[in-house]
């Protein structure tokens, strides 16, 4: 009897499976739920400015993905002016077409905190990118600047070598931007573990190439035996490299910097020896993280400000030796691609 | 009673005060800071203020004629950025340069025309044209903040030029300073600028072509800005238009004014620019050697400048004429 019952149960189960399985396969509820949650949603990117490689790269990768799921990506260009960025965010929050997700590249630790809180209160998810700020955003996606500084310092130590003067010079950004402050902290952490290496000077460039050139000239004048210089951004490291070139110390000073991994800005300059090492952000992957978190937040149904996720981009110090054809992304190619459309 | 010999306190004007501060700073740094007096460092000091000084020369001529040119930095950065962009997109060099030169002349003429013939105050005209130049070039003509110099182009080679290990900017600054000195001191047109700056109405009544001269000054300032931009690009192998947002413009006015060129016009000359540039150069270099953070550098710079202005105000009280005319 027991056997018969088991057989019958098995037969029933088989029959049921046979009936249900095809409809199951034809009707995956995922895509419908996905489309319903995402379609027509608005994403706005407010970087420090639209005119530099990182922002143009982010905008490209975000646009491709957002438009693919039927959303709208808008960008605002504050052109490095903090007030203009604040205005753009304020306008966005109060407009009829309030964005569902606001992606903010903060100029410093505090400027936009109040506005971001307002945005969350209005129901907009806030994603902070690249520069950390004193605000519990729904997500932070960008570099762990402390770790990035450590990588720079390690690259500088390696670039100097054991038999060098062990003198390192820093060209900092400023004393307000978190990326500069944390980068410095990271560098010092590594150098503390290598007490034989010394920082001989640490002027600020204020992110300006001419200032970077002038302070580096003075630094090399005072310490011609410096073996490595760490400039805090590839946007102004062209100045430090000009100073090295002018002092005829090419090849003797190992210049380390960090950047968004754009071909002309980073890889070409590693290739021609201007930079010794660049800690590059994998921009495509970073943008991919942004896309993923946007899709997650829009489907989560949770109110803005509920969760606080940190997604740090994997960083790597790249030198000429480990340069590969795909080490960098090419802004010119992206622009050409966009123009062709 | 004035006698020959040591200047009395009364004869010490702002230029003298700033010069004295610069000398004291120089001597202190020479004694106290290792490597400061090194010839290479002295060259570096002059070089670091060369572009600033060149821009200040153009500004000085405008200010002496009782005007101001707030579009100088925008013209400097945007003209060269456009030039490099044209080159990068394959425009022949001669044609690209002709375009840019025409653009620069047009903005200079526009500035001058609006101030001279439309009677709009210079401060508003140049503020507006500066914003226009930046906005138009940035949005319509170039794709990125930073535009690189094409490899092997003459601008790149210019940056590598050295004579006796002295960078080319220093010679250009010296050459332009000498030319401006000759122009202001020994030409009829130079004297007209002083007359017009001192008293425009009187200058016009005695038959000086005040308005065409005004236009000339703004064109001159625009051309000087183009030269400064080319030198910047030559040294850095690229130009970054972010400089328009920086404090460079205020530094230019500062160099001119701190050297003793009155904003009320009609006073000062090339020597004042050199003194102002020397003070700024020595100050920045010494502070960088001591490794003072930028925040404090700005504070110290501002305090010294403020001090010089206050001392000048006490020693040289404003006269009736300035009080009536006012300055900018």
With a cut of 50, say whether residue B2 has pLDDT above it. Answer: no
What residue numbers bound the domain in which A160 lies? 145-280
- Identify whether A252 is part of a domain: yes
Question: Which has more confidence, A265 or A3?
Answer: A265
What residue numbers bound the domain in which B58 lies? 14-314
> Confidence band (pLDDT; 50, 70, 90) for A8?
low
Q: Per the CB < 8 Å rule, is B245 touching A81?
A: yes
Q: CB under 8 Å, gap of 24 or more: what pairs does B303-311 form?
A: B304/B21, B304/B279, B305/B254, B305/B258, B308/B14, B308/B17, B308/B18, B308/B21, B308/B258, B309/B14, B309/B258, B311/B14, B311/B17
Are A88 and A100 in a shared domain?
A: yes
Q: Tell me what pLDDT residue B1 has.
A: 41
> How many structural domains compose chain B?
1
By the CB < 8 Å criterion, does A201 face chain B?
yes
State pLDDT tens for residues A156-196.
999 998 888 899 999 998 887 888 999 999 999 999 999 99
Task: Return the DSSP state at A140.
Answer: E
With a cut of 80, say whether residue B93 has pLDDT above it. Answer: yes
Q: Measured between beta carbons, which residues in chain A are less than 8 angstroms from residue B48?
A: 214, 217
Closest residue on chain B to A201 (Cα): B291
Are A244 and A184 in a shared domain?
A: yes
Q: Which two three-digit tokens encode residue B184?
A: 């202001």
Q: Per the CB < 8 Å rule, is B35 touching A222?
A: yes
Q: Per the CB < 8 Å rule, is B293 touching A213?
A: no
Chain B 74-133, CB below 8 Å of chain A: which residues?
none
Q: Measured between beta carbons, which residues in chain A are less than 8 angstroms from residue B237?
A: 238, 242
> Confidence band (pLDDT; 50, 70, 90) for B12?
low
- Identify whether B325 is part of a domain: no
Are A48 and A152 in a shared domain?
A: no
- Distance in Å, alpha carbon of B103 to nearest chain A alpha carbon: 22
> Confidence band (pLDDT; 50, 70, 90) for B235?
confident
> Confidence band (pLDDT; 50, 70, 90) for A103?
very high
Are A47 and A149 in a shared domain?
A: no
For B11-72, the DSSP string reads T--HHHHHHHHHHHHHHHHHHHSTTSSSHHHHHHHHHHTHHHHHHHHHHHHHHHTT---TTH
State pLDDT tens for residues B114-159.
988 888 888 899 999 999 999 899 888 888 888 888 888 887 888 7
With a cut of 60, say whether residue A115 has pLDDT above it. Answer: yes
- Identify whether A6 is part of a domain: no
Q: Is A69 exposed, middle or buried (0-12, 13-18, 19+ CB in 10 A)?
A: middle
Q: Measured between beta carbons, which residues in chain A are less than 8 angstroms from residue B235?
A: 210, 213, 242, 246
Are A61 and A81 in a shared domain?
A: yes
Contact pairs from chain A to chain B, CB under 8 Å:
84
- Identify whether A9 is part of a domain: no
Q: Which two three-digit tokens encode residue A226?
A: 């410096």
CATH of the domain at B140: 1.10.3470
> How many structural domains compose chain A?
2
Q: Measured between beta carbons, which residues in chain B are less than 8 angstroms from residue A175?
A: 293-295
- Identify whether B297 is part of a domain: yes
* Average pLDDT of every residue of chain B: 83
By the CB < 8 Å criterion, does A168 face chain B?
no
Are A184 and A266 in a shared domain?
A: yes
Q: Which two three-digit tokens encode residue B284?
A: 């920045």
Distance CA A299, CA A280 (A): 32
- Identify whether A240 is part of a domain: yes
CATH of the domain at A112: 3.40.50.2300
- Identify whether B321 is part of a domain: no
């Amino acid at each position: 009897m027991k056997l018969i019952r088991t057989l019958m149960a098995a037969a029933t189960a088989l029959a049921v499976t046979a009936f249900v399985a095809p409809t199951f396969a034809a009707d995956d509820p995922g895509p419908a739920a996905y489309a319903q949650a995402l379609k027509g949603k608005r994403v706005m990117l407010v970087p420090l400015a639209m005119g530099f490689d990182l922002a143009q790269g982010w905008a490209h990768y975000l646009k491709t993905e957002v438009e693919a799921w039927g959303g709208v990506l808008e960008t605002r260009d504050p052109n490095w002016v903090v007030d203009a960025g604040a205005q753009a965010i304020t306008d966005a929050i109060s407009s009829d077409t309030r964005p569902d997700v606001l992606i903010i590249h903060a100029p410093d630790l505090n400027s936009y905190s109040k506005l971001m809180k307002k945005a969350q209160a209005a129901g907009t998810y806030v994603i902070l990118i690249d520069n950390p700020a004193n605000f519990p955003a729904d997500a932070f996606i960008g570099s762990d600047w402390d770790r990035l500084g450590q990588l720079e310092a390690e690259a500088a130590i390696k670039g100097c070598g054991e038999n060098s003067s062990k003198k390192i010079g820093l060209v900092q950004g400023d004393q307000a931007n978190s990326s500069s402050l944390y980068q410095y902290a990271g560098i010092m952490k590594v150098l503390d573990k290598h007490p034989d290496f010394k920082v001989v000077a640490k002027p600020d460039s204020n992110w300006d190439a001419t200032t970077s050139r002038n302070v580096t000239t003075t630094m090399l004048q005072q310490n011609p035996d410096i073996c490595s210089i760490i400039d805090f951004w590839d946007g102004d490291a062209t100045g430090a490299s000009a100073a090295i070139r002018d002092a005829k110390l090419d090849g003797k000073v190992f210049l380390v910097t960090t950047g968004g991994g754009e071909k002309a800005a980073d890889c070409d300059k590693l290739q021609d020896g201007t930079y010794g090492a660049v800690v590059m952000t994998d921009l495509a992957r970073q943008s991919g993280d942004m896309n993923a978190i946007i899709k997650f937040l829009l489907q989560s149904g949770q109110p803005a400000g509920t969760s606080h996720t940190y997604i740090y981009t994997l960083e790597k110090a790249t030198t000429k030796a480990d340069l590969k054809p795909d080490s960098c992304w090419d802004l010119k190619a992206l622009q050409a691609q966009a123009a062709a459309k | 009673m004035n006698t020959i010999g040591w200047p009395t306190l009364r004869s010490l004007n702002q230029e003298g005060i700033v010069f004295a501060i610069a000398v004291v700073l120089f001597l202190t740094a020479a004694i106290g800071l290792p490597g400061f007096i090194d010839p290479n460092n002295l060259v570096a000091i002059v070089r670091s203020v060369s572009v600033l000084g060149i821009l200040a020369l153009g500004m000085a001529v405008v200010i002496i004629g009782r005007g101001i040119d707030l579009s100088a930095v925008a013209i400097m950065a945007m003209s060269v950025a456009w030039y490099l962009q044209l080159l990068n997109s394959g425009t022949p060099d001669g044609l690209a340069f002709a375009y840019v030169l025409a653009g620069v002349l047009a903005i200079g003429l526009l500035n001058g025309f609006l101030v001279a013939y439309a009677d709009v105050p210079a401060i508003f005209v140049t503020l507006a044209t500066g914003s226009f130049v930046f906005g138009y070039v940035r949005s319509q003509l170039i794709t990125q903040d930073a535009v690189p110099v094409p490899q092997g182009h003459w601008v790149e080679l210019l940056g590598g030029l050295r004579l006796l290990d002295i960078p080319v900017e220093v010679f250009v600054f010296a050459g332009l300073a000498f030319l401006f000195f000759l122009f202001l001191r020994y030409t009829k047109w130079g004297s007209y600028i002083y007359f017009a700056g001192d008293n425009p109405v009187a200058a016009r009544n005695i038959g000086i072509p005040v308005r065409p001269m005004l236009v000339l000054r703004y064109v001159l300032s625009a051309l000087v800005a183009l030269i400064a931009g080319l030198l910047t690009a030559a040294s850095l192998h690229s130009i970054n238009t972010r400089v328009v947002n920086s404090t460079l413009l205020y530094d230019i006015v500062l160099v001119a004014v701190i050297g003793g060129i009155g904003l009320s016009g009609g006073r000062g000359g090339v020597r004042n620019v050199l003194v102002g540039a020397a003070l700024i150069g020595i100050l920045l270099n010494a502070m960088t050697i001591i490794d003072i953070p930028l925040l404090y550098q700005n504070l110290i710079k501002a305090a010294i400048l403020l001090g010089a202005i206050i001392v000048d105000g006490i020693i040289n009280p404003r006269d009736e004429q300035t009080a009536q005319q006012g300055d900018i």
